[in-house]
């Protein structure tokens, strides 16, 4: 008997019909002899509806009140799933974040989980109940309702798995697992059976939207096995776990891409200590996240400084940068929001030289110009013109032999 935490996102619980399908998955897992904790999101579209109501109520809705409002979304789905389970003669008990004491800090709208009181859940599981928990929400020490921000339900699921010392945390989504590349771009893309936390983190930060970075980091920290799988069709999904020898054999695990970024460059800025901070501080103060940063070696005491931000922040960042350029005496500011980032990810590259060269040559052979390069221990990212996205991803997918190496093993989920 294992203890399995199962997380179902908004599309998986988007209607009562879908919730009944989720109940079938839960029951199937129970029939296999496992204990089940289900963690749910709000119905797809519900959070948007509530945010719109808040927008009608106030121009800038108070963040504490917004959490009170948004937390109703998951409360609806946990009640409905529990009703369905009870009707099917499975004892179920639902808990809001507050009821099961998911203690967070008091940063409304993007709170962090501090502690979970698991006793009550353990007792319910011992009494053969399915425990159904509202994701995305918690309470602070004063008992105020908090929410965890984007992807918060994944985080709740992983945190619950950690608190309960669960054997596996299964994240049900609308895709079959993690693929070697986006199947909509590369028809030969294969579902991976396994991937390491580190690789998943790099895939996620490179635009593979299957899982939120925060949940993967959390799982990695506590070494909770994560499995990504589909709530719409059966299959073993992809297990995200610690590196092992079998993984080492794969040089490159996958090709990720991100078309949500835009590039900004400050040309010929006087090259002196503190210049990077002077450029990026106004950006950070405006709550704009910076992804890649490249500073070229200076010529004539000036340097070019390039970085990427989310496309939604492009215009705001450009305006800020123009002001900074004047302050610092830079020659020019340029920007481009028609770029993409493509990354090759794999723990194997640690022990193999020449991956970067192989990547750059493959792209050059297709006439694709590389605008920026950034590397980590297990990832190489390049920024190229958006029009080359599909060609670039397909080229790299075949260059690193991903269509052949990863055979799908369909009984991996056991």
Which residues of the chain form contacts with its own copies (CB under 8 A)? 16, 19-20, 50, 53-54, 56-62, 64-66, 68-69, 71-72, 75-76, 78-84, 86-87, 92-94, 96, 98-99, 143-145
Shortest Å distance, C-beta 86 to its own copies = 4
Of 217, 82, 231, 235, nearest to 162 by C-alpha is 217
Of 54 and 370, the one with the shorter C-beta distance to its own copies is: 54
Comparing CA positions, the residue from 408, 12, 361 lying closest to residue 183 is 408
Tell me the C-alpha distance between 68 and 142, whole Å: 14
Nearer of residues 152 and 392 to its own copies, judged by Cβ: 152
Cβ of residue 12: shortest distance to its own copies, in angstroms? 15
- Interhelix angle 63-70/72-87, rounded to 10 degrees, is 20
Give min distance, CB of 156 to its own copies, in A. Answer: 17
Residue closer to its own copies, measured from CB, 153 or 268: 153
Rounded to 5°, the CA angle 295-299-301 comes to 90
As beta bridge partners, residue 168 has 4
Nearest distance from C-beta of residue 248 to its own copies, angstroms: 47
Q: Which helix (H) or strand (E) holds 269?
A: strand 261-270
* 8 Å CB contact between 184 and 126: no
Shorter beta-carbon distance to its own copies: residue 38 or 81: 81
- Helix, strand, coil tally for the chain in percent (to 5): 40, 25, 35
80 versus 113: smaller Cβ distance to its own copies: 80
Buried residues in 17-42 as b, exposed as e (16+ CB within 10 A) = ebbeebbebbbebbeeebbbbbbbbb
Minimum Å gap between C-beta 23 and its own copies is 9
Q: How far is the CB of 65 from its own copies (least distance, A)?
A: 5
Task: For the chain, count helices (H), then strands (E).
Answer: 14, 20
CB closer to its own copies out of 102 and 229: 102
The answer for residues whose C-beta is within 8 angstroms of residue 236's C-beta and 6 or more apart is 177, 193, 227, 229, 409, 410, 411, 412, 413, 414
Shorter beta-carbon distance to its own copies: residue 48 or 62:
62
Compute the least distance from the CB of residue 59 to its own copies, in Å: 7
């Amino acid at each position: 008997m294992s203890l399995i935490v199962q997380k179902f996102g908004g599309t998986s619980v988007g209607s009562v019909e879908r919730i009944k399908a989720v109940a079938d998955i839960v029951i199937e897992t129970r029939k296999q002899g496992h204990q089940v904790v289900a963690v749910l999101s709000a119905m797809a579209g519900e959070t948007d509806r509530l945010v719109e109501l808040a927008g009608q109520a106030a121009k800038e809705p108070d963040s504490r009140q917004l959490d009170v409002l948004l937390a109703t979304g998951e409360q609806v789905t946990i009640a409905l799933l529990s009703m369905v389970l009870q009707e099917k003669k499975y004892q179920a008990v639902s808990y809001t974040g507050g009821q099961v004491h998911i203690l967070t800090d008091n940063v409304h709208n993007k709170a962090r989980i501090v502690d979970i009181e698991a006793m009550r859940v353990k007792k319910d599981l011992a009494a053969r109940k399915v425990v159904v928990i509202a994701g995305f929400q918690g309470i602070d020490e004063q008992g105020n309702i908090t929410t965890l921000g984007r992807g918060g339900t994944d985080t709740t699921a992983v945190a619950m798995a950690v608190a309960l010392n669960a054997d596996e945390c299964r994240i049900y989504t609308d895709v079959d697992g993690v693929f070697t590349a986006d199947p909509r771009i590369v028809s030969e893309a294969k579902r991976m059976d396994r991937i390491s936390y580190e690789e998943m983190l790099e895939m996620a930060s490179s635009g593979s939207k299957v899982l939120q970075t925060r949940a993967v980091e959390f799982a990695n920290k506590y070494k909770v096995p994560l499995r990504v799988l589909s709530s719409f069709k059966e299959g073993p999904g992809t297990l995200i776990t610690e590196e092992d020898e079998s993984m080492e054999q794969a040089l490159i695990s996958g090709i990720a891409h991100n078309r949500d970024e835009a590039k900004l460059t400050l040309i010929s800025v006087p090259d002196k200590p503190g210049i990077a901070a002077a450029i990026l501080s106004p950006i950070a103060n405006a709550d704009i996240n910076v992804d890649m940063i490249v500073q070229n070696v200076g010529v004539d005491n000036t340097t070019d400084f390039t970085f990427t931000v989310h496309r939604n922040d492009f215009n705001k960042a450009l305006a800020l940068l123009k002001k900074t350029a004047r302050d610092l005496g830079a020659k020019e500011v340029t920007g481009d929001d028609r770029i993409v980032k493509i990354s090759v990810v794999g723990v194997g590259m640690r022990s193999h030289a020449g991956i970067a060269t192989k990547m750059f040559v493959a792209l050059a052979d297709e006439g694709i110009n590389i605008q920026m390069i950034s590397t980590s221990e297990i990832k190489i990212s390049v920024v190229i013109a958006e029009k080359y996205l599909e060609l670039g991803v397909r080229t790299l997918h075949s260059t690193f032999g991903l269509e052949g190496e990863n055979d799908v093993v369909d009984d991996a989920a056991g």
